[in-house]
Chains A and B, each alone.
Chain A
Amino acid sequence: MEFFKKVPTLHFMRPRRRWYTVSATLVLATVVSLVWRGLHLSIDFTGGVEVEVGFSQPANLDAVRQTLIAHGFSDPQVQIVDTVRDVLVRLPPQGETVTGAEVGNRIKAALSAIDPAVQLRRADSVGSQVGRELANNGALALLFTFLLIGLYVSVRFHTYRLGVGATVAAMHNPIVVVGFFSVTGLTFDLPALAAVLAVIGHSLNDTVVVFDRIRENFEKSRRATPMDLIDAAINQTLSRTVITSGATFVVVLMLFLFGGEALRGFSVALLVGIVVVTYSSIYVASALALDLGLTGNDLFPVRKSADELDRMP
């Protein structure tokens, strides 16, 4: 079976202005949403208390909230997780030092008025200082990943035209993922951050394959216009791009569907990430390289034998 019996001859580069607009809009929307709506950070980053309880019957959220307020918990957020019997209770930070299990046991005691068989499944309590530090470390990790990948790219593609294209694509992707969390109001937790870092790493996966092909095409033909060569490269790798992204998307989708609440943020970040990565490797990275004036001379400033090129890192 084959999706593309013949190598397709789609024109990717001609309408690139339109895709620039799409990307710019996505990034802008992210910034606006971050300023306006913010990002719903989990207690990993903000500090606070999260307690998960399991009822023996489907839970009544209103009753849970009322009971908690009646027992002196201020501003509890209650939501259903995984099954209708499991309820997650969130409380604002209680200070630098924490008393997680005590709060957990108090909540359990309070809720046993509704259901005597209520079970404490999980009690997390993070001090606000620890949360702030983790947020800072996370930002630092993002920065380091960008730096290292930028460094790799500039060494790898001898020309800045490809380098800039790849790096902009790599930065564009996590921004859109974070934007998705901001717009939908999904909780951004520590595993989600790990997934975003993986997305940055994965960003160049597709881009590198396309760029590799672009280089090969330039090597084969020095007559055709750069635009045609780039289009050809994307078309030649299209089948692989679609299948790979599809396969990765499907496994992560299973993670999203069956992995439970704890992996929700992680899998959503990856799902959105995979879509954006595929899109940006086709439309952002190559198009930018083209607009930066990529020619065969950039790739082969001094003629080298194909043998030598193969041995390059």
Chain B
Amino acid sequence: MTDFPRWRYWLVGTLTLLGLLLALPNVFGEDPALQIALTGRDKPPCTATCVTAVETLLRSKGVAFLRTSVKNGELLVRFPSHVEQLKARDVVKDQPEYNHALTSAPRTPAWMQWLGLKPMKLGLDLRGGSYLVYQVDIDGAIKQLQGTLEQDLRRSLREAKIEYTDIAPLASVGAGGEALKITLRNGADLDKARELVAKVNPKLEIREDTNPAAPAITARVTEDMARERADYAIDQNLTTLRNRINELGVSEPLIQRQGRDRIVVQLPGVDDPADAKRILGSTATLEFRLVDEINDPLEAQRRGVAPLGSKLYVRRDNGGPILLKREVIATGDQLVDASYELRQEGPAVNVKLDSRGGRRMAETTRANLGHRMAVVYVEKLRETKMVDGKPVDVDRTKEDVISDATIQGLFSNNFQITGLSQTEAPELAKLLRAGALAAPLYLVEERTIGPSLGEDNIRRGVDAMIYGMLTIFTFMAIYYRVFGWVANLVLLSNVVLLTALLSVINAVLTLPGIGGIVLTVGMAVDANILIYERIREEVRNGVSPRAAIDKGFERAFTAIADSNVTTLIAGVVLWAFGSGPVRGFAVVLTLGILTSLFTAIIGSRVVIHLIYTRRRDIGRLSI
């Protein structure tokens, strides 16, 4: 008795109570809910009027709801069932003044929320939602870089009055790949041209070709530049996706980079991601170009070749050809704001350019008063086509002129664009506002789980856990009697501690994660059995009960620790390699081993000490 340190009582007592408190929020469950925000330019917060308006709307359509609350300017409506939740969604969907998102709201009492106690987060397989994996087209981003370089070079050469016969991309050679070849008219300009190229981008690798027949400079995009560009493209895309998801109004979205060139987007509660995907993956942007008024577009269309310095486009309104100057005045990524407006002449998008774009726009319009300017709608698409019975991915750029108009006066950085359909205009405004993608995105994985399946999965997981635990508890109680009840208590507190730990570290509970909890219970029994078998053995060998208990714990310790280390190793590897649901399993497995070690070695010792060794006369052990 003297050798049993008192701090163990305190440690086990405190941790168990703390565990109970932290695990408690998980008992309450969640209500299906709908998150509603007001649309509009500045996203006005939902006030009392908006709350009453929504409540009246839902009542008038016969949708039953539990209660409403406002948090961070957003309205949260709770429903008694998923059926009512989906009914409400359909009602709200038709109201353009509301943005909505399916979500779930914990039923945790207010005082717990005030204490910051939260239940475990549920994975998409338990709550329903969409899981999207996008591949960032890095090659596309590097090609884009080359395109910008080409434009900059043309302009600088022209401004420096260096005559060139051609600027053309070279066939890809070696790492980094992309290179531009500038063929000059006079060999004497070589030095000047080289300096100029270095000024456009000092990181370019420059090579000269002094062949008098075709003096040329090759500017190569180095590997470093390519990598930098790729990283930039992914970072930029992450930001853009975040902005776009904000525009969509999804609750608790998750956007993460995965590996070298993938982005994972998780949209809880989104059970039909068609709308989300159209917006997220859209590469739609705008370009402003001057119209080539000298050459005949019909002629160019017939010959199939555009005159030098121009490019042939198709008009959206009548499908006719139009020639535009190659030089771009401004592009969609120079926009700082865009909003949709329904005007008398049709749907319009108000845009605002940044200072650089605005300045160029002002310069161009001043120099070209009375000439025509066009707005081009550009979208990159990847389509799967069947070639010889096999699916092949084909990239296609859709470019068409949505409007062209005579420049009547000086354009500042604010103006309107018309010529879009009623669905395109608000979507384009959203896209422009969220920023352009720095590189095209392609969806490579998509998983959608409906809310009903998520609910079934939770129920199944919990059922399996309850039945499994009941069986074990019954067996242990019969087989080990009092010690069995101690083991059951310890197993239960193991589940409580594990739940508490998972809730605290904000782990995401998935279906394999529930499987992990069940497996942990099964494996945690082991430590208890090792100890009890050892105690029985000592008793059989005629050791006194008190000594048998001490020896049992002592001797079983190495075996318990050892046998768990390897499972721990597997758990860690799984965590490192896995993603999504499997990672959820790995987290549970790893933490479950730690909690079961604690409860079996220290926890059960304390309980047994309380029952037996404190007594002066132990008598027979009930084992």
Contacts and interface: CB of A to CB of B under 8 A. Distances in A.
B511 A262 contact: yes
A164 to B, nearest CB: 16
Closest 7 pairs between A and B when the two form their complex, measured CB to CB = A201-B570, A251-B468, A100-B446, A248-B522, A95-B391, A201-B567, A127-B444
Interface in B449-475: 449-450, 452-453, 456-457, 460-461, 463-465, 467-469, 471-472, 475
A259 B567 contact: no
A194 B574 contact: yes
Contacts of B392: 95
B556 to A, nearest CB: 9
B565 to A, nearest CB: 6
A54 interface: yes
Q: How large is the interface on A (under 10, 10 to 19, 20 to 34, 35 or more residues)?
A: 35 or more
B566 A251 contact: no
A257 B445 CA distance: 30
Nearest to A209: B559
Contacts of B514: 259
B472 A251 contact: yes
A285 B390 CA distance: 49
B530 A209 contact: yes
Contacts of B570: 145, 149, 197-198, 200-202
A144 B574 CA distance: 10
A310 B558 contact: yes
A219 interface: no
A119 B563 contact: no
A98 B472 CA distance: 45
Interface string B466-495: 011101100100110100000000000000
Contacts of B449: 121-122
Best-buried of B449, B463, B566 by chain A (most CB within 10 Å): B566
A138 B577 contact: yes
5 contacts: A2-B479, A121-B449, A202-B523, A204-B563, A247-B475
A204 B373 CA distance: 74
A76 interface: no
Contacts of B519: 198, 248, 251-252, 255, 270
Contacts of B576: 141, 144
Contact of A190 (B444, B450, B582): B582
Contacts of A239: 533
Interface in A80-137: 82, 93-102, 104-105, 119-127, 129-130, 137
A123 B529 CA distance: 44
Contacts of B558: 212, 310, 312
Contacts of A244: 525-526, 529-530
Given A148-B569, A251-B469, A255-B464, A101 B448 contact: yes
Interface stretch (B145-153, B224-232, B244-252, B271-279): B271-279
A300 interface: no
Contacts of B195: none
Given A97-B382, A125-B445, A260-B457, A198 B529 contact: no
Given A7-B537, A7-B540, A209-B559, 6 more contacts: A141-B577, A152-B569, A204-B563, A240-B533, A251-B522, A254-B467
A156 interface: yes
A258 B448 contact: no
B512 A201 contact: no
Contacts, number: 256
Given A197-B573, A248-B525, A250-B522, A100 B447 contact: yes
Nearest to B569: A148
Given A191-B582, A250-B471, A260-B457, A266 B512 contact: yes
A248 B523 contact: yes
Best-buried of A125, A251, A263, A270 by chain B (most CB within 10 Å): A251
A136 to B, nearest CB: 10
Contact of A201 (B393, B446, B478, B571): B571
Contact of B445 (A95, A98, A201): A98
Nearest to B270: A101
A152 B566 contact: yes
A292 interface: no
A259 B512 CA distance: 10
Contacts of A7: 537, 540
Given A102-B274, A141-B577, A122 B569 contact: no
A198 B589 contact: yes
A46 interface: no
Best-buried of A129, A152, A212 by chain B (most CB within 10 Å): A212
Contact of B442 (A96, A104, A209): A96
Given A149-B569, A243-B479, A263-B515, A129 B564 contact: no
A123 B567 contact: no
Nearest to B481: A1
Interface residues of B, number: 80
A94 B274 CA distance: 18
A259 B515 CA distance: 8
B409 interface: no
Contacts of B79: none
B444 A124 contact: no
A interface majority secondary structure: helix
Contacts of B515: 191, 255, 259, 263, 266-267
A284 to B, nearest CB: 16
Interface string A132-175: 00000110110011001100100010000000000000100000
Contacts of A95: 384, 391-393
Given A93-B391, A95-B392, A254 B569 contact: no
B196 interface: no
B378 interface: no
Contacts of B573: 141, 144-145, 148, 197
A141 B585 CA distance: 15
Interface in A217-268: 236-237, 239-240, 243-244, 247-255, 257-260, 262-263, 266-267
A219 to B, nearest CB: 12
Contacts of B479: 1-2, 243
B578 interface: yes
Given A105-B274, A202-B567, A263-B512, A52 B453 contact: yes
B536 interface: yes
Interface in B400-427: none
Nearest to A127: B444
Contact of B461 (A102, A213, A259): A259
Contacts of B453: 52, 121-122
A137 B262 CA distance: 15
Interface string A191-218: 1011001101111111011001100000
Interface string B274-290: 10010000000000000
Contacts of A243: 479, 525, 529, 533
A206 B563 contact: yes
B518 interface: yes
B177 to A, nearest CB: 21
B559 A212 contact: yes
B176 interface: no
B476 to A, nearest CB: 8
B622 to A, nearest CB: 11
Best-buried of A105, A236, A252 by chain B (most CB within 10 Å): A252
